[in-house]
Structure 1
Amino acid sequence: MCYNCPSEPSAEARPGDRPSRRAVARLLMAGAGLSALAACTPASAPEASGTTSAASGTASPGASGEASSPVPSRSGSTSTGASARPSGAASPTASASAASSASASATAPSTTAPTTTAAAAPPSAASRLPKQYSLTAPASPWVIVNKHRPLKPASYVPADLVQPRVALAVTGEAAQLNRTTAAAAERMFAAAAADGVTMTLASGYRSYATQTVTYNGYVSSQGRAAADTASARPGHSEHQTGWAFDIGDGGAACSFQPCFAEQPAAVWAKANAHRFGFVVRYPFMQHTTTGYFYESWHLRYVGAEAATDMRKRGIATLEQYFGLEAAPGYR
C-alpha cells in the first residue's frame, strides 16, 4: 500500500494500519510548535533578570526576605508584570503545555538570592526590651561610658546622690550612689547577707576632680600606658555617673586584686547581681572590648530587665548588648 501517494483517499481506520497522512502531519506540526517554543523561551531571560535586579535594587533596608518581583507559578503562568513570557505560544496539546511549564521553570531566574542581601542587620539585643533608655545621657541607667564615649558634660554630677544603708568600707563621696543604684544595692546586699555572704561598698561615686587625682596617681607609678588599663581618664569613668560601684568582701581579702574573683562576695555577685539590676561591667577576657582587664568587684546598674536579659542571652559586655563598637583604647 502506498502511504505517501498524494491521491491516497481517506479510508476508515483498520486495526494494524499505520497512521494516516493527516495524523502524521499533526504530529509534525506539534513537533514544530515545541521547537518554536524552545527557541523562544530563552528570550524571556533578560526580561526576568531585569525584573529581579530592579526588585532587589528597590527593596527597603528592612526587607525580610520577601521577593518584590513576580515569580512564575509551577503551572507555567505568571503574576501581573510577566505576561511577555512565551507560554501563550504553546501548542494546545497536553504535551506542549507540559513542555511550556518545564521550559519556564528551567529558565526563570531565582529571586530568592537577591532578596536575602537586602535584609537589614539584626538590631541590638537591648532593642527587644519594652523600655528603652538613652545611651548618652548621664542620668540614664543605660548610659555607656568607655574609652570612646566620654561623659557629656565631662564635669557631670548626679543630682540625687545618697548614701545607701549598706556596710561601708569608705567615707565621703565614695560612699554615695545615685538614688536608684543605692536602693538596688540595699536589696542586693541584704539578699547576700541572707545567704551568709558579707558584702561591703568599697568605692562608689567619684567626682571629675577625684578621678583626676586617681588617674594621675596610676600614671606617676606605672606610666600612662599601664594606667589606661587600670584606671579611667577623667570624664571617662562610670563611677562619676553614680550608676557603678566597687564591692569588697567582709573579710577584706584581695580587695581590687585578681584573687578577689574567688572571694565569697565576688562569687555571689557574679551569680546573683543580675536579679537586682547589676552586671559585672568588666568581665573576664573581655578587655579587647571594654578596654579593662577583669574587675570582678566593679558592678554597674542597668536595671533588672536588661541585666537578666544579658545573662539569659550569654552576652558579656554592655558594648555587645547595645550593639556598640569595642573600645579597647582611647582614640
Structure 2
Amino acid sequence: MCHDCVAGGPSGASRRSFTRFLAAGAGLTVLAACTPEAPAAVTPSSSSPAPGVTSASPTAVAVPSVESTTAAAEPPPQAPVPPSAALPRQFSLTDPGSPWLVVNKHRPLAPADYVPADLVQPNVTLAVSGEAALLNSTTAAAADAMFAAAAQDGVVMTLASGYRSYGTQVTTYNGYVAARGQADADTASARPGYSEHQTGWSFDIGDSGGACAFQPCFADQPAAVWAKANGHRFGFVVRYPWMFHPITGYYYEPWHLRYIGVEAATDMATRGISTVEEYFGVDAAPGYP
C-alpha cells in the first residue's frame, strides 16, 4: 500500500520524495503505485494478471461482475418447510371450513361472522345447552369416539363449551373487558371474529364434578390428563399448551381442545410439536397487531 498517496497526487514531504524517486529513475514506478485507482465495476477473475503485470491481451479475459459472483456464492434463502408438509393430505390454513384452519390474534376469521353450515349436537355428556352444545359434524363425530374411549378407561368427560357465535363472543369478550380491563381480557378471551369456538372445530371439556373448571389446576384432573395423552388418537390437540403463550397468545388452557385430524394430531404428538402455529408454519401471535 502507498501511505503517501492522495487523490490529487503527492504533496509536501511526499512531493520531495517523489522528486528523489524521479531522479533515481523510478518515476514511472511510483506514479503507477501512487495514482489513485479508478473505481472498478468488476472483480478480477482468477485468470486475471497480477497487479503491476501487463496482460498481452486484456480483452481476452472474461471478468464476472460482483453481482454474478455474489449470486453464485450465496443462493437466495429458501422459505422454511413446515412439519405439516410431510403429510400426504394438505388442507387450507385460512378456510373456516378446513380442519387445518389457523385462527389466532394475527389471523382473524373471514368472514368475521362466519357460521358453520353443519352444526350438530354430539352424543356426549353435556354440561351446557343451546348453541354451546353444538360442534361441526366432523368434530362432533370425533368427540363421540373420544368421550366413549375415555369412559371405557373410567374417565368421565363432559362438553363444557362448544360452538360460540360471533354475537355470543361479543358478549363474552366485553364481559372480560369490563371485569379485568382490555389488556388482561386479551390474554383470556378472543376478540369477536378471532375465536376458535366460532368455527365449530374447538370445545372445552370438564368433568362430572366440575373440579377446577376453567382453572389451571384442571390440568391435573383425570379428564385433562387423559385428553392430553390420548386426544391425538381422535384428531385433537390441546390448543393452548403450558408456557407457549408467546406463540399462541393465550395462557395455558388444558380444557380447550382443537380438532385438526388424526394424521396431523398424531404427527404433532410423535414429533413433540406443541402448537399448531409451529406445526403449520405460521407466525407466532402473542398479541393483536
SS of equivalent residue, structure 2 residue 159: strand
Give the whole-Å Cα distance in 1 for the aligned partners of 2:49 and 2:154.
75
Distance in 1, matches of 2:129 and 2:49, equals 79
User: Which has the larger Rg?
Assistant: 1
Aligned partner of 2:262 among 304, 313, 316 = 304
Instruction: Provide the residue aligned with 1:130 in structure 2.
Output: 88
Residue by residue, what CA displacement relative to the aligned partner does 1:308-331 show, whole Å, maximum 9, x if unpaired?
Answer: 111111111111111111111111
Partners of 1:279 and 1:301 within 8 A in 2:
yes
The equivalent of 1:19 in structure 2 is: none
In structure 2, what is the equivalent of residue 167 of structure 1?
A: 125
Q: Residue type matched to 1:176 in 2? A: L
1:241 aligns with 2:203: no
Alignment of 1:1-331 (within 5 A): 43=47, 50=64, 54=68, 57=71, 114=73, 117-118=75-76, 120-331=78-289
CA distance in structure 2 between the aligned counterparts of 1:195 and 1:124, rounded to whole angstroms: 35
For 1:238 and 1:208, the matched residues in 2 are separated by 11
CA spacing shift, 1:45–1:278, aligned 2, 3 Å = farther
Separation of aligned partners in 2, 1:158 and 1:122: 32
1:77-104 per-residue CA deviation (whole Å, 9 max, x = no partner) reads xxxxxxxxxxxxxxxxxxxxxxxxxxxx
**Corresponding residue number in structure 1 for 2:41:** none
Deviation, structure 1 residue 57: 2.2
- Which structure has more relative contact order (CA 8 Å, sep 6+)? It is 2
Separation (CA, whole Å) in 1 of partners of 2:264 and 2:71: 37
Shift of 1:52: 10
- The structure-2 alpha-carbon separation of the partners of 1:49 and 1:187, relative to structure 1 and needing over 3 Å to count, comes to farther
CA pair 45-185 structure 1, distance change in 2 beyond 3 A? farther
Give the total of aligned pairs: 235
- Could you say what secondary structure the match of 2:131 adopts? helix
- Counterpart of 1:84 in structure 2 is none
1:189 counterpart letter in structure 2: F
When normalised by structure 2's length, the TM-score is 0.77
- How many angstroms does 1:51 deviate by? 9.2
Q: What TM-score does the superposition give when structure 1 sets the normalisation length?
A: 0.67
Instruction: Report SS of the residue matched to 1:43.
Output: coil
Which residue identity is paired with 1:262? D
Change (3 A) 1:44 1:285: same
Q: For structure 2, which runs of at least 5 residues remain unmatched after alignment?
A: 1-44, 51-60
